[in-house]
Structure formats: structure tokens, C-alpha cells
A = this chain, B = another copy of it.
Amino acid sequence: MPVIPLNSANDSRLEPYRHVKDRDLTGRQGLFMAEGKVVLERLFASPLCETVSVLTTPARLEGLSVPDDAPVYIVDQAVMDAVAGFPIHRGYLALGRYAPPQSLEDILAQTGRLRVMALSAIANTDNMGGLMRNAAAFGVDAVVLDSACCDPFYRKAIRVSVGGALVVPHYRLGAGQSLLEVLNTHGLTAYALSPAGDQVLDQIVPAERSAFLLGAEGPGLRREILDTAISVQIPMHGGFDSLNVATTSGIVLYHLCR
């Protein structure tokens, strides 16, 4: 990890860190911004991601296990805030690149036990972050997103995931591709979560190769998915029929990923 002190907010090497709030809105070509010490440590250790560079302050460098080939730019807090465009209280930023060694085909073609989380139209970055956090916590093998989902590599989604987004591989389908078709093609049994599901979660003994489908709060999963997959509900109390989608994933994955 070459350590490179920089004095000026105008240094061209700081370009990727400039106005990081706006970066989420433009084409990022697999690049993403990680922030905070815990998230950076997950990035450094992740076999799915490369660390392109790190930006921090002198006092925070110690104890950071940056990969050997990634430059670490050291600046004062004021320079860091000026470059980023807002106060970086956590004091750590890193530019990463998603570069998973396996394709979705590779992962789904594996024989034996498989646990997949399949997401449809999850557009809220907080929920996406919560879902990726739970996928990491319960050891999901892969996350498949339809084209209506937001990017798990939005800065806020990574932060909310506490780095879970950097640990579990995710794959986005094209606009014409169907989640169910992809899962069926690879012999995965699809369980679709819905407050009106036919089966109750406790009664489910998941197949060796299982996928759990979750949709956006409010509209939920499309009718055709619920009709084709095994629909599953989490029983609730007193007519309250509403759980947050990330919380739902936590309950489901805790139950079915063991």
C-alpha cells in the first residue's frame, strides 16, 4: 500500500472522490464508493472486489490492512471534506471495483446445496442495503436482481449493508429476463414471500437448491410470480399485515439458510 500524502483538494488523483454524492447518479462501470472503517475492512478482505484506492487522514492510517497494490491518499480532514463535498465524519473512503470471479451461470451451475435471494423491483436503497446485510449475515450464495432493482453498490446501500453488499455476489438480469425462468433453468425451487402466501414459513422445509423471492413493500411480488412459485407467508398478529422487506428477509433467511 503506497502511502501518498496530498496537500491540495485539487490534486487530480482525488478526482474519483470529488462530490461523491453525485457519483451515484452517473455511470460507474462497476466502481463504487465505500465509507467507514468496518466497510473498508470488508472491501479489503472481499474476494469479489478490488480496492482501487483509499482516502483517509494521517491519524486513521494505523491498523488499516489495505491491499499491497492499492494507493492510500492521506489528506487533512478539511481537504477530505472539501473533495467529497460534505463532512466525512467517519474519515475513511475507498474506491472499489466489483469484479466477481464467478458468473451467475457458474454459481447456479454448481451442484449441491444452494441458497439464493432473488429480488424484484427493490428500488429503495435503505431496503437494498438491509437485504444485502442479511444475505451476508446468513450466508446466501448469490443475490439475483431483476432490472427494476436499484444498485446494491449505491454508496448508501453499501453503508446500510455494513459492507454485506461487498461480501455476497449479486447479479442483475437484463430488462427482458425473468427471475423465475433463470431460477427454474438451474433447478432451483422458488419460494415467494407474500402476506397472502399459501404456506406458512414454519412449515417450509427448503429444497436443497432454494431461492427466496422478495418484492417491494406495497405492491409486493407480481401475481404471476406468486402463482408460479411456492408462496409463503409470515403469520402476523391482529390484522397487522405489514413487515419491512429487509426484516422479512432476516426472518426468512434465518429460518431457511441453516
Contact = CB atoms under 8 A, between A and B. Distances in A.
Interface residues of A, number: 29
B247 A136 contact: no
Given A234-B254, A247-B246, A250-B247, A136 B240 contact: yes
Contact of A247 (B130, B139, B236, B238): B130
A184 interface: no
A66 to B, nearest CB: 19
A167 B133 CA distance: 29
Contacts of A149: none
Contact of A137 (B38, B139, B167, B237): B237
A243 B247 CA distance: 10
Among A240, A243, A246: residue with most chain B CB under 10 A: A240
A252 B161 CA distance: 20
B134 A243 contact: yes
Contacts of A130: 244, 247
A171 interface: no
30 contacts: A38-B242, A126-B126, A130-B244, A130-B247, A133-B244, A133-B247, A134-B247, A136-B237, A136-B240, A137-B236, A137-B237, A137-B240, A137-B243, A138-B236, A139-B238, A162-B242, A164-B240, A167-B238, A235-B258, A237-B257, A243-B250, A244-B246, A244-B250, A246-B247, A247-B250, A248-B250, A250-B250, A250-B251, A251-B251, A251-B254
Given A136-B237, A137-B240, 20 more contacts: A38-B242, A130-B244, A133-B244, A133-B247, A134-B247, A136-B240, A138-B236, A139-B237, A164-B240, A167-B238, A234-B254, A235-B258, A243-B250, A244-B246, A246-B247, A247-B247, A248-B250, A250-B250, A251-B251, A251-B254
